[in-house]
Each structure stands twice: as C-alpha cells, then as structure tokens.
Amino acid sequence: MDDLDKYFKDEVEYCPWIDKSPEIIAQQKIWQSELKEKYGAEFGEGVFVSRQARIFRIERLRLGERSFICADALLRELDLTTGANCSFNSDCYIQGKIVLGNDVRIAPKACIIGMNHIFTDPDRRMTNQGLSSKGIEIGDDIWIGAGSVVLDGVKIGSHSIIGAGSIVTKEVPPYSVVGGNPARVIRNRESPSVLDNRSLSDRLAKFDGRLRGEWEAVLAFYEREDKGRVIYADSPKKQPTIRAWCDAVEIAAMFGDIPSLMPREELITTLQKLQKTTVDYDVLTVGYALEVLGSRPAMPFSQADEIATRLSEYLNSRDWGGDVWGSGADIDHFGTAVYFNHRYFNHPHYLEPLFGWLSLHVNPVTGMWGRNQRGDLRLVVNGFYRLTRGTYAQFGVNLPYPEQSIDTLLCHGASQKYFSDGIGNACDVLDVIHPLWLCGRQTDYRKNEGIEWAVRQINRILRCWQPGRGFSFDLEDGCEPSLQGTEMWLSILYLLCDYVGLRGSLS
C-alpha cells in the first residue's frame, strides 16, 4: 500500500491537473505557506506547485488561479508573474523577469530566459561584466513547444504557438505559428494559411502542367527570319534583340531544355559573339543565359574595371534625387559585371568599397537609397530592386535595414495605381517581390502581409496567360504578348511561389 500511495503522490507531482486527495491538498497548502514565508510568493485559488520542482533565489513569484508547476521544473533567479491557468511542465527552465498572461502552456524542456550576460567590453572577461535583463512578456492563450528557447527581450503576442525546438529571438506577432532557429513566422492562425491553400496549390500545379506542354510552341511563335536565318524577336512585329535570344534560352532552361533553333554549342557561340556588343542590361541577359547553358562569358566586361578605378566618384555622380531607378540600374550593371569578372576571370571583386559606400548612403528610415518623387514610391522601390539585386542578393550580403525596407515595399505594394486588377506590369511586381523575398532571408517581419500581397499577384498572373503566346509585359487586357513578358512573369511567378511556400507546385 505504501508503494501505491507513493505512486499516486508522484503522479500528482508530474500531472498536477488531475484530481487530488484531501491529504495531497493539505500537504500542498503547507508547501505553499513555506514558499510564501521564504519568498513572499502569492498564489491564486487552485494553484499547485510540485515539491519536486527546483525553486531557488526567487525575487517574486505570483501564480494566477489554477496554475501549475510540475516536478523537475527549474525556476531560479526569478521575477515571475502569471495570469490564470498557466502550466510549467517537467524539465522546463525559467529564469529572469517574466510576465505571462492567461492560459499559457510551457512544454517539457522549454527554456524561458529573461536575462543575459553583458559582453560589450572585449577587454574584460564576461564573468566580470555582470548581467542585464530586459524581461520577457508572453500574452494570453499561448503554447510554447517542447525544447524551445525564448530569449531575453522577447514579446510573444497572444494566441501564438511556438513550435518545438524553436529559438525565439525577436517579437512574435499575435496569432502567429513560429518555428525554426532563429524562429520565423510560418503562418497566421486568424486567416486561412496560404501554405494550406489546396485550391491555389492545385491551380498552380495545373498551370505548370499547361506550361510544360506549351513552352516550345511559345518559343516557336517568336521565331522569325532575318537575313536568311531564323532568329528570335521579342514579338513578331519587333526587330531582333540580344535580350530576345537570352529570354528564349532562360524560358527553355526553366523546363530543363534548350531552344530548338540550334544545338547547345552553337547557342553558346552565338551568345558569346553577342557579348562583344553588350552594354548595361545586356551584361545581365547574356551572362546569365550563358550560365544556364553551362558556359560562361567569353571575355571580361571591361567597363567594370574601368568604373572601379573611380568608384566613389561614379557612385556620387548618380542622380539619387531625380533618377533613382537609373542610379540603381547603373549599380546593378556594375555589380553583375564585377560578379562575372571575379567568378570567371579572377578579377578583383571591389566589394569593400562598394558595400562601404552603400552602407553610408542608405536611408535608415526607409531602408532605401534615393528619394521618392512627390509621394510616389515607384521609382525608389524600382531603384532599390535593381541596386540590391546586383549587389546584396548576388553576393549574399545582408541588407542593412530589412524591416524598414519591408515597410516601404508593402506601402508601395498597396498602391491601387500600380497593383489593382488590370493595372501594372512585370517590372512593378518584380520590384516588390524580389526585395520581399530577399528581406525574407533575414526576417519574418510582416511576413503574413507580404504573403497576402504575393497571393493576390499570383492570382492576377494566372488569369493572364495567352495560350501558345505567353504573357504580355503589361497585365492589361488586349496587350500583345512578348518573350520578355513571358520570361519575366514566369520568373516572378516562381519568386512569388517560393516566398509563400508553394514553390513545389511549379517545375
């Protein structure tokens, strides 16, 4: 009988929400009185604190009614206040200044640490620099999963779920599901999740199947005769361009193939010859087309080395007030030429002076370079895309102010002038989604709003495919399709789907 009594006592210590015998309730009152006397603790009605919990050096302990602390939980150096119906499971670790709302569940092995070591002085050992504590605030109706860690200074919004094993280093918005290291917002619990949107995923997969059946016919539509040979033109009515060849190569590459006009080696030779006449944007088109063919530029882009000799003068001379788009494009061309020259010809990469200048001239309020024009953000956002694409994205460098950049991008993305049904073009959408996608590598800030915007664009794009012709550059009805429009919208669609977590629906 003694063994059975011990079993039931231990069961309550580890599962304090179960019914309790009068004897256990009486023992609990004695234990709580001891904690009140030692630490000045305060307990609401129905609270249970396991005697097998490890509780040391408590500054404040206030537990709301029906709250529980299980056996083997460790609480030390603590200033803890909870609302009603909170639970601390076995092997969780709680330290520092922490405030919980109502209905918070803390799973086994979770760590909530509301303090940190100071380490600002590299000349002193950390053990001599003391501790700091910003405190942790946890709202109502929250589940903190097993093995997760919440660090000092974090606020977790109400109705959120912290996935098992997550490392939470920054504020969590209400109704969020977060996971990972560092933790990122996976979805919002209030609205249907894009990631769970079967309808959109099925539509994308159906569209992808259609693309795989039509892409060769689309390229054939843009073939035309020129001086006795067949070439690509952006549209049947336009003159041939370098970009048309490159767009055709990249569209075919999306489906693991090459255009049918000529063999791979002949295509490579053709593009390498075209490189001799490349300037500005053609540096990008020819260089990347050669890469997707498994080749490389035939020679360095000499303009990059020439600009590098006077880089600061060159950057300062851009028109950052009147022509932000052009200024960003110039840096995109330079950065891309530097990328090719360094990768294939071992030229200097010039990254230190380039990123040094950029870091000194970025606006910390908007996260952008240059100024908007009369309240219209279109040019500054376009310039931001071009500048960051050829520099930060291409060389894998973190943006200086990603959250401020997201604020600016979403503000512009809300413009009905450029993003309502039947209005806008490929550049407008690309200018927002590529930077959002890039910022998303650093932060989940406002991710749900970004996802909602991206889904609207996906729906707009899927309505505008012209069978056997592709996409027009503009989304307006009746616009002529083009190779450029087709290549851009397919690339944009991929970025949008990757951003919202539906990349697997596409080839």
How far apart are alpha carbons 401 and 463 in whole angstroms? 35
> Which member of 117, 159, 333, 347 is catalytic?
117
Rg (CA), the chain: 30
How far does CA 276 lie from the centroid of its chain?
Answer: 38
**Side-chain-side CA neighbours of residue 432 (13 Å):** 27
Measuring CA to CA, which residue among 13, 123, 8 is closest to residue 68? 13
Q: Please, what's the b/e burial string for 190-220 (b: 16 or more CB within 10 A of its CB; e: otherwise)?
A: eeeebeebeebbebbeebbeebeebbeebbe
Within 346-425, where are the H helices? 351-361, 378-388, 394-395, 402-413, 416-419
CA distance 392 to 368: 13
Which residues partner with 112 through β-bridges?
A: 94, 150
3-state secondary structure 26-86: HHHHHHHHHHHHHHCCEECCCCEECCCCEEEEEEEEEECCCCEECCCCEEEEEEEECCCCC
Sequence-separated (6 or more) residues with CB below 8 Å from residue 507: 208, 211, 212, 254, 255, 256
46 touches 27 (CB < 8 A): no
Give dist(CA 246, CA 470) in Å, integer.
Answer: 16
**How many CA atoms are closer than 13 Å to the CA of 344, on its beta-carbon side?**
18
What's the CA gap between 471 and 362, in Å, rounded? 35
Please say if 349 is a catalytic residue: no
Please report where in the chains the tokens 């994205």 appear, as a residue: 393
- Confirm if 134 and 170 have CB atoms less than 8 A apart: no
- Residues marked as catalytic: 117
